[in-house]
Amino acid sequence: MTQSFNEMKDMALAKLENKWGNAALVVLIAMIITGATNFIPGASLIIGGPISLGMAIYFLRISRDEPVEINNLFDGFKQFGNALGAYLLMLLIIILGFILLIVPGIIAALALSQTFNIMHDEPNLGPIEAMKKSHEMMKGHRGDYFLLNLSFIGWALLCILTIGIGFLFLAPYASVTNAIFYNNLVDYHNKDIKELGSHLEVLEY
């Protein structure tokens, strides 16, 4: 990775400057929608994918200094079928992992963690292809991703003292940091591909 955890987190704070209000509102809207659908059998499974993809899109745009609006949260519905398929497959794999043992479930969640980011960058990929790519990209980086998210545990404990209100601001902070992690991951793999291409050119020559 090209940046340390602290550098990623500092960058996330800088990216969120003047955007905290809207980012917190996006998290609140997502929470309300998700919470409301829990009262309708099966609804949370249906909208879980598009909302997750929309959240990924929103925070990726912030991490890349791209124009961002609150309604980007609903961009995931533009890929409804793929988002739904990916969400259900990921949920199934992770649940099966936890049924076997807790550790396999955590490993599966880490391996598939970049699926929605990939679906945003490569909308031509289907759910399985995006999940496979996430699995490949996260090889050797699952521990890093786990530790990065674990580093927010102190803030999470403090948020509990605010009756949960603090999570409206912690979630954007963690989400943008994770988006920056993904951007680093993309750069890392693109660099590897370029180096491999250079080696092949030398061998051909």
Mean pLDDT, all residues of the chain: 91
* Per-residue pLDDT tens digits for 65-121: 999 999 999 999 999 999 999 999 999 999 998 887 788 889 999 999 999 999 999
Question: Residue 61 and residue 77: Cα distance in Å, rounded?
Answer: 17
Where are the alpha helices (H) located in 67-166, listed in sequence order? Answer: 80-100, 102-111, 115-121, 127-137, 142-150, 153-161
- Tens digit of each residue's pLDDT (9 = 90 or more) over 5-42: 999 999 999 999 999 999 999 999 999 999 998 888 88
Chain centroid, CA 192 distance in Å: 22
pTM of the model: 0.88
Question: Are the C-beta atoms of residues 83 and 116 closer than 8 Å to each other?
Answer: yes
**Cα–Cα distance measured from residue 54 to residue 83, given in angstroms and rounded to the nearest whole number:** 9
Binned at pLDDT 50, 70 and 90, residue 164 comes out as confident
